């Protein structure tokens, strides 16, 4: 079976900066493939090149076997693209937007009306059908944007950071919607800065950094490199640390680390349930505990584990990705600062 | 299967088969949009533009207030000096204002399109399998309404001030149509600039540089013979002068002169040169 996406040696340079520096990707039919990386890593640029929105500098890209460089018009008929900045018309109502995009793709006036209503219904926007998009919330815009990509039921859908800037509840709804698309037989290529999003949705993940692919695998394979979460135990008496380390080693396979303050032990865990085992064992051994918390591994910890360096922001290339407004500094940075914080 | 009877790239949310067959979708794709598809897509884009006009009536300020203001201002300020009286000046000036209006309005077309292209929705237009001509030609088609409004108001305010066109209804209609056609043709120049410039403000700036010499170094407001020789030479080759003279011939004399022919040839030339340039530059920028 042809791959949905076949990319070899993709390159895009903005001046001296190689935003995408030789990326290979292989997305199989019917899977959700996640491209994970910090801001400015080259995710959006990659997606835009594959979506015929940016010229490809070097490399080969095929969508269901169709050459992106040679036959952009054909590729556009296979793809649905949902950008990082909702690409819907603010001056039109939700229904008008969908009707316009349907009409542009050769669908009859009557059928365009039917499709618009069905999609609005399916994406929970039926009540807002005749409202101007400029009055929409961020989550509603994203959903409308996604609905617009579904008009022709394309076999491949690109989602560029589909939940950046959404609140947790809306984000959960978006995840459900994305999963339902795969059930219909679509293949999905999505980019994200959130490890948990890639974890929740993707069958396979490619980790991108500085325009290069630094790792690839299933979420389990990636997380295995850092553990699924970390248990932080602050000891009541720092004298107990050798005893505590020995106890933890006895319970879990992962090697605990002593943090600089010496009173704190970080324990990598494969499941959060391990925390209970560790705490019970510590109580039995008579080790006093001052504080306990469980942290999910951040993207940065994955990065640290894979590349040996943190996932620092690179505002210089983020501005060069070519999205409208990309130069305004409104690149979702404020939403992600928490995620990209340097590991404790 | 019912889906086979439908044109290519059609989708049916909910109505089609439950799952998507990529191989079938790929087999149905075409390598480029057909001319009839391009026309239909242009109409859809024009529909969008008229919706936007209806929701942002301030887009009509330049085509409503400006013609009224310019007609009154120029007539009362220059009328006495140039032609001895306002009423004698009107037959000379109204066609000039018409040409100026067409130029200003076509400039606004370019600026607005550039402004529109900054919006996220243009990303979707670019990603859709549509003709690269449609996003440019659609708004320009809708702008025919603006040229119509501007030309009508200019003529109406002239008539209100005592202008009695000698060309009769047909002559006036001819001048009105010529104004719209020249405005629309000129808009391709500004649209092309729009696809090259970095921002709407840049388009505005560049367009001003083009517009001012073209309108004022023409016979729009003064007889060319009154100018120094070197300037008269430029004024005579300025395409705006041809449009103005053609409008005068039509509106004042009801005569379809060679000037009308030259003006139309000029319009065709503008479209033939600048429309492909604009589309190519837009498609390249992707």
DSSP readout, A187-203? EEEEEES-HHHHHHH-S
Select from B52, B113, B123 the residue whose CB has the most chain A CBs within 10 Å, as the one to mutate to test that interface. B123
Q: Which of A54, A73, A122 sits opposite B13 (nearest CB)?
A: A122
> Residue A325: what pLDDT?
36
Per-residue model confidence as pLDDT tens digits over B25-84: 888 888 889 999 999 999 999 999 999 888 888 878 878 888 888 888 888 888 888 888
- Domain ranges in chain B are 34-285
Task: Spell out, as residue ranges, where chain A has pLDDT lower than 70.
Answer: 226-228, 260-262, 297-301, 307-344
Residues 6+ apart with CB under 8 A from A48: A54, A321, A322, A323
Give the span between the Cα atoms of B9 and B28, in whole angstroms.
7
Q: Which of A51, A74, A86 sits opposite B29 (nearest CB)?
A: A74
Which chain A residue has the Cα nearest residue B41? A104
Which chain A residue has the Cα nearest residue B117? A324
Q: Which of A73, A90, A150 sits opposite B32 (nearest CB)?
A: A73
B33/A119 touch (CB, cutoff 8 Å), yes or no: no
Q: Which residues pair with A206 in a beta bridge?
A: A35, A216
> Residue A212: what pLDDT?
92
Which backbone phi and psi does A17 adopt, to 5 degrees? -90, 120
Q: Which of B14, B56, B120 sits opposite A118 (nearest CB)?
A: B14
B11/A107 touch (CB, cutoff 8 Å), yes or no: yes
Which backbone phi and psi does A328 adopt, to 5 degrees? -80, 0
Task: Name the CATH architecture for the domain at A5-91+132-223.
Answer: 3-Layer(aba) Sandwich (3.40)
B129/A77 touch (CB, cutoff 8 Å), yes or no: yes
> Residue B92: what pLDDT?
87
ipTM exceeds 0.85, yes or no: no
Select from B52, B129, B142, B284 the residue whose CB has the most chain A CBs within 10 Å, as the one to mutate to test that interface. B129
Task: Name the CATH architecture for the domain at A227-296.
Answer: 2-Layer Sandwich (3.30)
Give the torsion sign (CA, B201, A142, A202, A76). Answer: negative
Select from A104, A146, A187 the residue whose CB has the most chain B CBs within 10 Å, as the one to mutate to test that interface. A104
Between CA A182 and CA A158, with CA B7 as vertex, the angle to 5 degrees is 30
Residue B16: pLDDT over 50: no
Burial of A269 (0-12, 13-18, 19+ CB in 10 A): buried
Q: Is B35 on the interface with A (CB under 8 A)?
A: no
Give the span between the Cα atoms of A169 and B275, in whole angstroms.
48
Per-residue model confidence as pLDDT tens digits over B244-283: 999 999 999 988 889 899 999 999 999 999 999 999 998 8
Q: Where are the alpha helices (DSSP H) in B56-167?
A: 61-83, 86-117, 121-127, 134-142, 144-160
- Domain ranges in chain A are 5-91+132-223, 227-296
Q: Which residues pair with A26 in a beta bridge?
A: A6
Which residue reads 């005068």 in tokens?
Answer: B248
Stretch 115-134 of chain B: residues touching chain A, C-beta under 8 Å: 118-130, 134
3-class DSSP assignment, residue A314: coil
Determine how many CB atoms are found less than 10 A away from the CB of residue A113. Answer: 16
Which residue reads 């000891």 in tokens?
Answer: A235
Q: Which residues pair with A156 in a beta bridge?
A: A79, A187
Residues 6+ apart with CB under 8 A from B275: B133, B137, B188
Q: Which of B16, B45, B124 sits opposite A87 (nearest CB)?
A: B124
Give the span between the Cα atoms of A40 and B250, in whole angstroms.
61
Nearest-neighbour CA in chain A from B31: distance (Å): 5
């Amino acid at each position: 079976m042809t791959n949905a996406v076949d990319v070899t040696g993709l390159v895009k340079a903005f001046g001296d900066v190689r935003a995408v520096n030789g990326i290979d990707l292989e997305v199989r039919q019917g899977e959700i493939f996640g491209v994970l990386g910090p801001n400015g890593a080259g995710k959006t640029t990659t997606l835009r090149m594959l979506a015929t929105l940016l010229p490809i500098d070097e490399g080969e890209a095929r969508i269901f076997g169709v050459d992106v460089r040679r036959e952009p018009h054909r590729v556009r008929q296979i793809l649905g693209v949902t950008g990082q900045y909702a690409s819907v018309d603010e001056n039109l109502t939700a229904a008008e937007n969908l009707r316009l995009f349907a009409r542009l793709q050769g669908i009859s006036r009557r059928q365009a009306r039917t499709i618009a209503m069905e999609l609005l219904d399916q994406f929970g926007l039926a009540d807002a059908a005749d409202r101007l998009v400029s009055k929409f919330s961020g989550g509603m815009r994203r959903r409308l944007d996604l609905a617009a990509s579904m008009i022709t039921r394309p076999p491949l859908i690109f989602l560029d950071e589909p939940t950046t800037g959404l609140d947790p509840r809306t984000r959960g709804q978006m995840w459900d919607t994305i999963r339902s698309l795969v059930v219909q037989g679509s293949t999905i290529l999505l980019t994200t800065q959130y490890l948990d999003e890639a974890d929740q949705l993707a069958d396979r993940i490619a980790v991108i950094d500085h325009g290069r692919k630094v790792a690839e695998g299933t979420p389990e394979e990636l997380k295995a490199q850092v553990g699924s979460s970390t248990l932080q135990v602050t000891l009541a008496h720092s004298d107990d640390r050798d005893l505590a380390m020995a106890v933890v080693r006895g319970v879990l396979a992962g090697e605990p680390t002593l943090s600089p303050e010496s009173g704190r032990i970080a324990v990598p865990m494969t499941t959060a349930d391990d925390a209970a085992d560790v705490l019970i064992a510590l109580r039995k051994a008579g080790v006093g505990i001052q504080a306990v918390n469980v942290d999910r591994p951040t993207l940065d910890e994955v990065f640290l584990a894979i590349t040996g360096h943190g996932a620092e922001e690179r505002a210089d290339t983020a501005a060069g990705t070519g999205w409208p407004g990309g130069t305004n500094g409104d690149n979702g940075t404020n939403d992600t600062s928490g995620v990209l914080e340097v590991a404790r | 299967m019912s889906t086979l009877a439908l044109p290519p790239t059609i989708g049916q949310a909910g109505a089609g088969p439950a799952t998507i067959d990529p191989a079938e979708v790929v087999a149905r794709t075409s390598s480029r949009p057909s001319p009839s598809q391009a026309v239909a897509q242009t109409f859809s884009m024009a529909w969008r533009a008229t919706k936007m006009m209806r929701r942002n009536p301030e887009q009509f300020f330049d085509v409503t207030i400006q013609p009224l203001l310019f007609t009154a201002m120029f007539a009362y300020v220059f009328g006495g000096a140039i032609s001895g009286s306002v009423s004698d000046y009107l037959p000379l000036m109204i066609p000039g204002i018409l040409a100026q209006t067409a130029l200003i309005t076509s400039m606004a077309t370019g600026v607005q399109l550039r402004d529109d292209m900054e919006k996220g929705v243009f990303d979707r237009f670019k990603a859709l399998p549509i003709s690269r001509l449609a996003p440019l030609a659609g708004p320009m088609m809708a702008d025919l309404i603006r040229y119509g409004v501007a030309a009508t108001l200019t003529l109406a305010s002239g008539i209100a001030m005592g202008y009695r066109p000698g060309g009769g209804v047909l002559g006036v209609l001819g001048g009105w149509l010529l104004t719209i056609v020249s405005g629309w043709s000129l808009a391709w120049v500004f649209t092309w600039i729009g696809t090259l410039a970095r921002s709407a403000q840049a388009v505005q700036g560049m367009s001003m540089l083009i517009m001012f010499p073209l309108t004022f170094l023409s016979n729009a407001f003064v007889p060319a013979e009154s100018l120094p020789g070197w300037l008269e030479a430029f004024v005579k080759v300025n395409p705006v002068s041809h449009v103005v003279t053609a409008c005068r011939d039509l509106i004042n004399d009801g005569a379809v002169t060679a000037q009308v022919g030259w003006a139309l040839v000029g319009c065709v030339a503008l479209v033939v040169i600048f429309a492909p340039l604009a589309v190519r530059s837009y498609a390249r920028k992707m």
